[in-house]
Amino acid sequence: MSLDKARYSVICTSAILGAVVAGLTLFPISTVRANAAPDSAAVTATFRTKCALCHGPDGSGSEVGKSMNVPDFRTQAVQKLQDAELAQVISDGKGGMPSFKNSLSTDQIQALVTHIRTLAPKK
Ligand code: HEC
């Protein structure tokens, strides 16, 4: 009888341990996922504060931007360009487009290129 009880508690303990281990294993994954959202929110915020003034929040070009002939980010003309070409214009500037290499990190510029891709119409 007491042996049965001991076995029972061993089973219970290992079940609890198993659950804790599973929880610890899965927890970091959910943490990583949770961090992905604020990151893209940060890019959107950067785009709105630094780019939307000319390019508009949706990339189509603001009133100011249109007067400067900004390209519409949603069109093929822009979307067909390579990531490196877009990154270079953001970094070095071009015509009325200011250079951002002193105010944005290469990671931020790369994230903005990814953001510009999200502005393309969904197929
Ligand atoms: C002061 C207005 C202004 C601001 C602010 C601005 N841009 Fe521009 N941008 C332009 C203009 C004007 C052009 C067109 C340049 C040309 O082709 O002569 C342009 C072009 C571009 C292009 C190249 C598109 C192509 O077809 O070659 C990219 C990419 C771009 N901008 C991204 C950005 C990003 C990202 C930001 C924010 C970090 C930003 N721009 C902020 C005015 C602006």
pLDDT tens digits, one per residue of 52-70: 999 999 999 999 999 999 9
Distance 40 CA to ligand 1 centre (A): 20
Nearest-atom number in ligand 1 for the CA of 95 is 18
Atom number of ligand 1 nearest to Cα 50:
37
* Among protein residues, the one whose CA lies closest to atom 2 of ligand 1: 54
pLDDT-derived band at 25 (thresholds 50, 70, 90) equals low
- Per DSSP, the three-state class of 94 is strand
| Residue 36 CA to ligand 1 centre (angstroms) | 26
Q: Quote the tokens at residue 94.
A: 């071009």
pLDDT of 82 reads 98
Can you give the pLDDT at residue 2? 67
CA torsion, ordered 92, 110, 96, 54, to nearest 10 deg: -160
Give the distance (Å) from ligand 1 centre to CA of residue 97.
4
Ligand 1 centroid distance, CA of 80 (Å)? 15
For domain 37-118, which CATH number applies: 1.10.760.10, 3.90.1150.10, 3.30.300.30, 1.20.140.10?
Answer: 1.10.760.10
